[in-house]
A and B are shown apart, each in its own frame.
Chain A
Amino acid sequence: MTVRPTLPPEDAEPTRLLALPGTAVESHHRDTVVAMLEAVAPDLVVATPPRAGTVGAAVPRQVGTPVLAPERGRLPDAVPTKGGTVLVATIPTTARGLDAAEVRGRGQRERRGEPDGTPHEEHRVCLTARVTLDVDPYAREASIDGLDGYADQLPDGWLTGDTTHCSTGLRAGYRTTTRADGEPVSLVGIGRTEASLGVGATDDGPEPTLVEVYPNGAVGTGTVDPGAFGLRGVPGIGEKRARTLRRAGFSTPRDVADAPPRELADLSGLGRSSATGLRAAAEARAHGTAVATGDDSLPRGDPIFVDIETDGREPSCAWLIGVLDGGAEDGHYMPFMESEPGDTGHLESFLHWLDANAGGRPLVAWYGYQFDFPVLRDLIQQHYPDHVERWDDRYQFDLLWWARDKNGGNVALPGRSNTLEPVAEGLGWEPETTGIDGGVVARVYTAYRRAWLSADEPHSVEAPDWDRLAAYCEDDVRALATIYEACEAAARRDPGTTRDTDSGTQGALSDFT
């Protein structure tokens, strides 16, 4: 029986681990790595392969983040965090079983020098290298290896729901719940796998991954691109330009933002127009603001902001269509939500609402041309074909595309990735809900749908916290409106600024928006 995923408690503070591969450290400038550590501010760094041995030296003492290396050493190592309520410990690959006091003792002696701490933490995160995944397409089986040996080593009573187990032998982002000694064991990947994943694995090396562990066992994971921090975080500054800029004495986005344009333009490899573009991008990053870089205007008419929640990135449904009519602060939020799995009445209601209210107004979505709009169209075609023509005639506007891509880009935005919430947060917006992202929402929904459709009495199936999921979606449309308003303001402020024709270095979106 599959264990249904848990949402984190509201307003809970997670323990934040940054799984940092040695290769990621080696392929970025030290300043970039430091900028990443300062911005992400994890509770601790876990050194992960490949070349985990190089991570420790890359984390400067002044940053002060403890580093644990689960692949090294014969003795356990531990770091108490969250005021001693959470213990993070490495369980080295040794033959013998470990004692809880011994593990705790290591942490206290070496890190804090406190003789007696709180012996009963609320939650534990154990780090190992020996739990791995094996995939055999010929046997058509995937299995977790090394769990028994690992369980034998763990101190008694640590194989319970109040411990989260992270392995560098599992690929970062991988999550599963399995059983050992009859107990459910929550496993989280923080490294790389040797398993043959076929076309389900890319050639790219592992990326740094932020793992957030909540006291109730809920876990969130997300990759962190070091190239999104410090100078490298400014779109248009790759490693080569960053080197040029550093040599000229510019070491932060703020330095670049505040530099006279001529001084930048004189640097080798930078023309006048790219210097202007870089400066705008740096200003956006450094000051948390939107800066106009192009001439295209935003649509006329009051925008309607749309964001959908689905069952995955290649979805078969949009069970929640969040609509914001009005501004980021005071606009009216309407969640069009499925009444039960498989029902599409909410889609029809949405279409009727549009008929009544959307005449001539732009529908705005983030990354909408790639996701929300075609997904909705596909569903309309399937369920309400009579509406397709009207849908096609509606003004559909992808704000990300307009800001980043249209005619070389129109507005430089802050944020350490192109996904919706980080950009809005870069502009100073704060979410109401925490600990939830599109992936979590899709998983929670999918698990519920499965239980509901498989149950003899569907209505007895425990429903997810719909209000919270709807609130997450509301966060997203309000974030979208925030960005839209910032873009409007930028366009008013700097009409006709020369634009940066450089295409920038940020890659395609890989997350939900």
Chain B
Amino acid sequence: MTDETPPPDRPDAARTDGGVGSPQRTAEVLSESALEASYPEYRDQVRHSEHLEERDGDTVPAEAVLRPELAARLEYDLFTHQAEGLDHLADGNNVVATTSTSSGKTWIYALQMARNHLDDPDATALCLFPMKALARDQEEALTTKLRHDWDLDPFIGTYDGDTRSERKQRIRREANVVLTNPAGLNVYLPRHNRDRGWHRFYSNLELVVIDEGHEYSGVTGTHVAFILRRLRRVLEHYDADPQYVMTTATIGNPAEHATRLTGADYAVVDEDGSPRGARDIVLWEPPLDESAIDADAADPMADFEQARRSTGAESASVVAHLATNDVQTLQFCSARQGTEIAAKQIVQAAGDHPSDRYVTTDPYHAGLGKTERRAVETKLKEGAVDAVPTTNALELGIDIGSVDATVTSSYPGTKQSFWQQVGRAGRGTSDALSVMVGGVDAMDSYIFENPGYLFADDEVEDAVVSVDNDRVFADHLLAAASERPLRAEDVEFLGDEARFREMVGMWQAAGLLEETASLDAGGVTYTGPRRPQDRISMYGTGGTEFTVVCRDGDIDHDPVARERAYRDYHEGALFLHAGQQYEVVEVDEEGHHPTITVAETDTREYTQTASTKEIRDLTVRDHTPLSGAYDRYYGEGTVRIRYDNYLVRDVFSGEVVRGPLPTGAPPMDLRTELMWVALPPGHLGATVDRLDGDLLQPTDRSERDGAVPQEEERYTYGGGIHAAEHGIIQLAPLELMIDNADIGGLSTLSHPHGTIQGPVWFVHDGIDGGIGFSKAIYEHFDTLAERTREHIADCECGRRRGCPMCVMSEHCGNNNDPLDTLTGSMILEDVLDAMDGE
């Protein structure tokens, strides 16, 4: 990675290089007295602050680990975790290093490259980075270390879509170290035996580095896992048996994750020997105007958001306060806000600040041109800008030096991401300061209630990656066959065996693999159109994927998988992207290149898509019986979703401006993974009997929604089970690195499947074929259910129908109706009791 490592035996280096800051604690700027004195209308927004003490580093003399020849070239000692990693590598193991940001994980693989190079000047190494910019940064860092500092002469080169072809040719012929990204490897791999350079490179491969391995989860993770398996298969052909080093941010399951991604086994290095500066973390909650909440709001979610000061505006105000106090600040924006808007808000907020100081600010995001980005990076390094609002583009290792403070505008979704952002602050003799401004979300709310979650070392999310998606597997199998004929022994990389053989048989019957060939007798060749690799998209599971184009200009938007397109990009849909509002004007799924055409717009409206869902063809893959007719299941099934119509609502009032309007989207079948919780047949009656409160009255809206029961008991209980379903999905990312926009749910009072006798709620992957999310939720259900129960019970809203901070979801297809936190808590409690008795 990415870490700008202090020289390893000078733990204080990072804090003696500038001396820009004042000697006081930066956090003083946010002390209660300072805020009351100078923050505009301070209303006790600081909910929590935590001071993290400085920690010294633990080191090992380099000569204890490295041969004298190499140790002598190092100026400093090694941190203990670096030494441990190198020892494992010397013993022939693979290593996954999961120590903190900026702990010098790079040194482990850089020194291993040096060792390999000294053993054999022809030895090569392949390094994979999640982003092109990181590869370039690391090319520089590795060149400095290996060639300049350690006086070795390996040829190091970045090889990706931006590399010129003459340079590429030279790298293929001569490079010892190639830096690229997994999508690049996917398309370069097939040339392994058509080019002498690659032939040489793979034959001599001693080390494969997978940097920032936690980045590979979900759909992308599934693809990366298969690309790495294809790589290993090709390497076996060359009798190359490299060692693997994976670095990752702190995750709960480093060994498991590394193994799932690569199929190899790993030794874990997680005892961090690096020093850490002191820092302060402040949790800042935007004020809520309770009196503005309307119990009968047309869109309860929007109503709540209206009543609360917006996270973006509040963040800008905090940034302005810091900047006017000479604290250079990086603001990490949420996608909804956008950096351009944030920059304007900061200038405005600085104008409203009593200090009346002018604040310079420049936005930073991937959409800017290279020159513009470099300019902002330089200004940051030189202290020529007070505040920079940025997307997560600056979260990962781009060299900007360090700033005095960071402001995170709503929880970024993972602890890894949060700490990466925090890690950007801190220099000179002053302490680092980081602020998180709460967003309108169950996760933010949970963290503000339970700040310990952020600081506890033993509460770290597991990375989730799956190789179970058959559609993705089927595609990579064709890619593998086009790289080398498939043989029975490939099961080592592409197993399990039955699945491998069945899928090969399927493609043979479909005419894409040679039908007359056999895995056991000579191998099976690829017979389809050339270069199937080029048609693999890292963003989807092989279904239809839409390109987003802007009618009146450029838009830098990732391709959209059909699953999301139907929900969020139907004709007439409004959406925000990088701070700009767009309207979808045309969806073309017919042509060879499905396209979503959008136009820039600027309205006071937003759209909300309603959906109905059916779940059928369930197959049970795993079952956990609980006591008393409660059951938990994991399996596969078909989810048919209809995004039939949508409403256009006013941003401020939530009132319907137009609609319901037809989306024009056809029904969509997802063959995907699900988990479900089946409750006992009489649970509705039993729960209503025990209910310590009134039954809820069906809303006007629900009367028009055929899926909502109108009878009060059923309506209320339906709200409870719906709340439990939402709550678990919303809090799942606290336990698992998953994007809950790619999870869906369905709760219903009855379902015809044989495993279901009473009410049930489902959680399903929102991606065709599944990406392991529901399975992970199934496996972590205990913790998630417990956490959800606590959170729903503790939510400050205290409202039966909940709020966006507990059970409301922006992705709900029923306008968050019905929801009942009271019944929901009872249902969760019963399930937890049944789990205790299992």
Query: A and B, one complex?
Result: yes
Residue numbers of A with Cβ under 8 A of B are 2, 4-5, 133, 135-138, 140-143, 171, 173-176, 189, 195-205, 311-316, 341-342, 370, 374-375, 377-378, 381, 392, 439, 442-443, 446-447, 449-454, 508, 510
A136-B506, A197-B528 given; name 20 further pairs at CB < 8 Å: A135-B506, A137-B470, A138-B471, A141-B506, A142-B507, A175-B511, A199-B479, A199-B532, A200-B507, A202-B529, A203-B592, A311-B523, A313-B525, A313-B527, A314-B190, A370-B194, A374-B193, A446-B522, A453-B520, A454-B518
Chain B: which residue is nearest A177 at the CB level?
B515
Indicate if the CB atoms of A447 and B516 lie closer than 8 Å: yes
The reply to whether the CB of B133 lies closer than 8 angstroms to some CB of chain A is: no
Which of B474, B510, B535 is the most central at the interface, judged by chain A CB atoms within 10 Å of its CB?
A: B510
A136 to B669, CA, bound (A): 13
Indicate if the CB atoms of A137 and B503 lie closer than 8 Å: yes
The reply to whether the CB of B512 lies closer than 8 angstroms to some CB of chain A is: yes
Q: Which of B471, B592, B593 contacts A137 (CB 8 A)?
A: B471
Given A312-B485, A314-B484, A203:B514 Cβ within 8 A: no
Q: Which residues of A contact B516 (CB under 8 A)?
A: 2, 4-5, 443, 446-447, 450
- Indicate with 1 or 0, residue by residue over B436-474, a CB within 8 angstroms of chain A CB atoms: 000000000000000000000000000000000011011
Contacting residues of chain B (474-513) with chain A, CB-CB under 8 angstroms? 474-475, 478-479, 481-485, 499, 502-503, 505-507, 509-512
Indicate if the CB atoms of B525 and A450 lie closer than 8 Å: no
Q: Which residues of A contact B510 (CB under 8 A)?
A: 133, 135, 142, 195, 197, 200
Indicate if the CB atoms of A199 and B525 lie closer than 8 Å: no
Indicate if the CB atoms of A197 and B512 lie closer than 8 Å: yes
CB distance from B770 to the nearest CB of A (A): 10
A56 to B499, CA, bound (A): 46
Given A4-B516, A137-B471, A176-B509, A198:B522 Cβ within 8 A: no
The reply to whether the CB of B195 lies closer than 8 angstroms to some CB of chain A is: yes
Indicate if the CB atoms of A377 and B199 lie closer than 8 Å: yes
Given A138-B671, A140-B503, A315-B525, A450:B518 Cβ within 8 A: yes
A-B contact pairs, 12 of them (CB 8 A): A4-B516, A137-B506, A140-B502, A142-B510, A189-B511, A199-B479, A205-B592, A312-B527, A314-B483, A374-B195, A377-B199, A447-B517
Which of A195, A199, A312 is the most central at the interface, judged by chain B CB atoms within 10 Å of its CB?
A: A199
Indicate if the CB atoms of A174 and B511 lie closer than 8 Å: yes
CB distance from B466 to the nearest CB of A (A): 14
Indicate if the CB atoms of A312 and B671 lie closer than 8 Å: no
Q: Which residues of B contact A143 (CB under 8 A)?
A: 509
Which of A5, A311, A314 is the most central at the interface, judged by chain B CB atoms within 10 Å of its CB?
A: A314
Indicate if the CB atoms of A311 and B522 lie closer than 8 Å: yes
Contacting residues of chain B (656-687) with chain A, CB-CB under 8 angstroms? 671
Q: Which residues of A contact B533 (CB under 8 A)?
A: 199
Indicate if the CB atoms of B525 and A316 lie closer than 8 Å: yes
The interface size bin for chain B is 35 or more
Q: Which residues of B contact A176 (CB under 8 A)?
A: 509, 511, 515
CB distance from A67 to the nearest CB of B (A): 26
Indicate if the CB atoms of A140 and B514 lie closer than 8 Å: no
Q: Which residues of A contact B505 (CB under 8 A)?
A: 140
A203 to B545, CA, bound (A): 12
Indicate if the CB atoms of B518 and A198 lie closer than 8 Å: no
The reply to whether the CB of B60 lies closer than 8 angstroms to some CB of chain A is: no
A313 to B479, CA, bound (A): 13
CB distance from A93 to the nearest CB of B (A): 23
Q: Which residues of B contact A195 (CB under 8 A)?
A: 510
Indicate if the CB atoms of B536 and A199 lie closer than 8 Å: yes
Residue numbers of B with Cβ under 8 A of A are 190, 193-196, 199, 203, 470-471, 473-475, 478-479, 481-485, 499, 502-503, 505-507, 509-512, 514-518, 520-523, 525-530, 532-533, 535-536, 542, 592-593, 636, 671, 769
Indicate if the CB atoms of A381 and B199 lie closer than 8 Å: yes
CB distance from B543 to the nearest CB of A (A): 8
A171 to B474, CA, bound (A): 19
Q: Which residues of A contact B535 (CB under 8 A)?
A: 199, 202
A176 to B527, CA, bound (A): 13
Indicate if the CB atoms of A450 and B521 lie closer than 8 Å: yes
CB distance from B227 to the nearest CB of A (A): 13
CB distance from B204 to the nearest CB of A (A): 13
A378 to B511, CA, bound (A): 27
CB distance from A380 to the nearest CB of B (A): 11
A378 to B532, CA, bound (A): 22
Q: Which of A198, A204, A381, A443 contacts B542 (CB 8 A)?
A: A198
Given A195-B510, A453-B522, A200:B485 Cβ within 8 A: no
Given A195-B510, A199-B475, A316:B523 Cβ within 8 A: yes
Indicate if the CB atoms of B470 and A140 lie closer than 8 Å: yes
Chain B: which residue is nearest A134 at the CB level?
B510
CB distance from B189 to the nearest CB of A (A): 12
Q: Which residues of B contact A136 (CB under 8 A)?
A: 506
Indicate if the CB atoms of A312 and B506 lie closer than 8 Å: no
Indicate if the CB atoms of B529 and A201 lie closer than 8 Å: yes
Indicate if the CB atoms of A312 and B526 lie closer than 8 Å: yes
A506 to B474, CA, bound (A): 32
Indicate if the CB atoms of B478 and A200 lie closer than 8 Å: yes
Indicate if the CB atoms of B485 and A311 lie closer than 8 Å: yes
A5 to B194, CA, bound (A): 29
CB distance from B231 to the nearest CB of A (A): 16
Indicate if the CB atoms of A377 and B196 lie closer than 8 Å: yes
A295 to B523, CA, bound (A): 45
Chain B: which residue is nearest A135 at the CB level?
B510
A137 to B476, CA, bound (A): 12
Q: Which of B511, B520, B525, B636 contacts A312 (CB 8 A)?
A: B525
Which 9 A-B pairs give the minimum distances between C-beta atoms?
A312-B525, A453-B521, A447-B516, A140-B502, A142-B509, A203-B592, A200-B528, A200-B512, A199-B535
Indicate if the CB atoms of B506 and A142 lie closer than 8 Å: yes
Indicate if the CB atoms of B532 and A200 lie closer than 8 Å: yes
CB distance from B229 to the nearest CB of A (A): 16
CB distance from B513 to the nearest CB of A (A): 9
Indicate if the CB atoms of A454 and B520 lie closer than 8 Å: yes
CB distance from A212 to the nearest CB of B (A): 18
A175 to B509, CA, bound (A): 9
CB distance from B401 to the nearest CB of A (A): 43
A407 to B99, CA, bound (A): 54
Q: Which residues of A contact B522 (CB under 8 A)?
A: 311, 316, 341-342, 446, 449-450, 453
Given A137-B503, A142-B507, A378:B521 Cβ within 8 A: no
A113 to B180, CA, bound (A): 69
A377 to B193, CA, bound (A): 9
A176 to B536, CA, bound (A): 26
A135 to B503, CA, bound (A): 10
Q: Which residues of B contact A451 (CB under 8 A)?
A: 521
CB distance from B476 to the nearest CB of A (A): 8
Chain B: which residue is nearest A452 at the CB level?
B521
Indicate if the CB atoms of A314 and B482 lie closer than 8 Å: yes
Chain B: which residue is nearest A204 at the CB level?
B592
Q: Which residues of B contact A197 (CB under 8 A)?
A: 510, 512, 528
Indicate if the CB atoms of A392 and B525 lie closer than 8 Å: no
Q: Which of A140, A205, A381 contacts B499 (CB 8 A)?
A: A140
Given A2-B516, A316-B484, A199:B471 Cβ within 8 A: no
Q: Which of B195, B507, B525 contacts A314 (CB 8 A)?
A: B525
Q: Which of B194, B485, B499, B529 contacts A316 (CB 8 A)?
A: B485
Q: Which of B483, B514, B517, B542 contacts A199 (CB 8 A)?
A: B542
Q: Which residues of A contact B526 (CB under 8 A)?
A: 312-314
Indicate if the CB atoms of B196 and A312 lie closer than 8 Å: no
Given A140-B499, A378-B193, A200:B199 Cβ within 8 A: no
Which of A2, A4, A138, A377 is the most central at the interface, judged by chain B CB atoms within 10 Å of its CB?
A: A138
Chain B: which residue is nearest A193 at the CB level?
B510
A314 to B503, CA, bound (A): 19
Q: Which residues of B contact A370 (CB under 8 A)?
A: 194
Indicate if the CB atoms of B514 and A443 lie closer than 8 Å: yes
A450 to B517, CA, bound (A): 6
CB distance from B520 to the nearest CB of A (A): 7
Given A198-B542, A454-B521, A312:B514 Cβ within 8 A: yes
